[in-house]
Amino acid sequence: MRFEKKHKIYAGLVGAALLAWAIDAAFFGPAAPAGSPAAASAAASPNAPEPSIVPQQAPVAAPEIRNDKWLSDRLRDWSKNNPIDPAQVRDVFSPPVSWTKPSAPTPTSLPVATIAQEFTRNHHLSAVVLSTAGGSAAVIDGRLLHVGQTVGGCRLVGVRRGSADLLGPDGQQFRVVIGTEDAGNAR
């Protein structure tokens, strides 16, 4: 069997990992406990300095945490001791006010003709793709939209030769034709 370049690289990586593990175990391992033979041999060496006598301080006791209660019981006890005003609690699933844009007047309050005029003023139908398999689409503002997708708050509901039918946010349907805005796209 011939060793290829990738096999040599794999062997080098495994060897480097083993070397790193050996160095870690030899030099950076945990300190020996006080009663271990390594600690005893270090203390028995003649050149070792004498340990200074330091009075031991009593360990500070941590507050007792009882783990025999269910989490819901512990949370209930905590909430009794730490009341929270529900009016000050923010819904974590809603975006902060700083993330939202100032709201513009919604197109739902406009009449149907105004919604269609607003759409044709801001968007341009440049092509339609007709398909017998039901995959018809329209190219609006350079985006290929299939039936059911939305653009500008209006949903594409149908495509015909030279036009596209859209459904406004208020439920009213209007048609946009291929052409210039001054030719009156909306019907």
- pLDDT by residue (tens digit) across 11-55? 999 999 999 999 988 888 665 555 555 555 555 555 555 555 655
CA angle 116, 145, 137 (to 5 degrees): 95
The whole-angstrom separation of Cα 183 and Cα 181 is: 5
Contact 168, 129 (CB under 8 A): no
| pLDDT confidence bin for 184, thresholds 50/70/90 | very low
Q: Please report the domains of the chain, with CATH numbers, ordered by start residue.
A: 109-183 (2.30.30)
Task: Give the residue among 83, 178, 169 at the shortest CA–CA distance from 128.
Answer: 178
What predicted TM-score, i.e. pTM, was given to this entire model?
Answer: 0.38
CB atoms within 10 A of CB 119: 22
| pLDDT confidence bin for 168, thresholds 50/70/90 | confident
Q: State the pairing for strand pair 163-167/143-146.
A: unpaired
Lowest mean pLDDT among 25-39, 107-121, 145-159, 165-179: 25-39
